[in-house]
Amino acid sequence: MMFQRKLFYVLALVVASLHVAVAGDPDILTDYVVPSNIVNLTSDLFTFTGMRVIINAPPPPAFKVLKASMAEFPGLNGQSVSYAILQYPTGSVNPPHTHPRASELLFLLMGTLEVGFVDTTNKLYTQTLKQADMFVFPKGLVHYQYNPDPKNPALALSAFGSASAGTVSIPNQVFNTSIDDNILAKSFNTDIATIQKIKLGLRC
């Protein structure tokens, strides 16, 4: 009896964690979510015009992301989708990062991109994308993009399976926070001077 009860609890925990692992954003019990500061609900809540800035704009000097997630576009709350426009000048990189709450479907609109992700077995998958190609970065895995073209910029549109995918930048979160130098030196099997040199490069 005792054993069965324990088994039941273990199974309940496994089912609960599986649910977390497969779930997207939480389901809402209404058609949409109206922010409390909106008095008159109109189609404006469901419209985002923030990407118009890219029309005829000069290419950015460095890699640039324009997000249309719940923070910029409140109408996405509860809808489990969002977009980002990614602009890559020649030779620029979107450094290794993860999105803890969503998989990412990248659509290359212009140029060439070298992309890659690493799975939980530490296996690297890479691809060179040409214009109109798509690539999916599985949820939560470390990935990057790089424009190797010496002449042409690249432009991509990424869709996310969450209204708030979140971004964890590996260089920034590891070397641009106050994690102790000694802990990082031990973790990367190197010396403190090397860690400090890397940290210095990120403090812009």
Ligand X SMILES: *[C@@H]1O[C@H](CO)[C@@H](O)[C@H](O)[C@H]1NC(C)=O
Binding status of residue 172 toward ligand X by CB under 6 A: yes
User: How would you class 10 by CB atoms within 10 Å of its CB: exposed for 0-12, middle for 13-18, buried for 19 or more?
Assistant: exposed
Length of the chain: 204
Residue 143's SS3 state is strand
Is residue 72 part of an annotated ligand binding site? Answer: no
Q: Which is nearer to ligand X, 24 or 74 (CB)?
A: 74
Least separation in angstroms between CB 38 and ligand X: 9
Q: Which two tokens stand for residue 127?
A: 């691809």
Nearest CB to ligand X, comparing residues 123 and 203: 203
Footprint of ligand X on 12-41 (CB under 6 A): 39-40
Give whole-number Cα distances, 123 to 21, 117, 119, 126, 139, in Å.
21, 8, 5, 10, 15
If the CB atoms of residues 90 and 167 are measured against ligand X, the closer one turns out to be: 167
Binding track over 39-78 against ligand X, x by CB under 6 A: xx--------------------------------------
Q: Does 200 bind ligand X (CB under 6 A)?
A: no
User: Residue-wise over 72-90: b if at least 16 C-beta within 10 A, else e?
Assistant: ebbbbbbbbbbbbbbbbbe
Q: Is 176 among the residues that bind ligand X (CB under 6 A)?
A: yes
Q: Which of 167, 186, 189, 197 is nearest to 69 (CA)?
A: 167
Which residues of the chain form contacts with ligand X (CB under 6 A)? 39-40, 172, 176, 202-204
Binding-site residue numbers are: 94, 97, 99, 104, 143
Binding-site residue numbers for oxalate are: 94, 99, 104
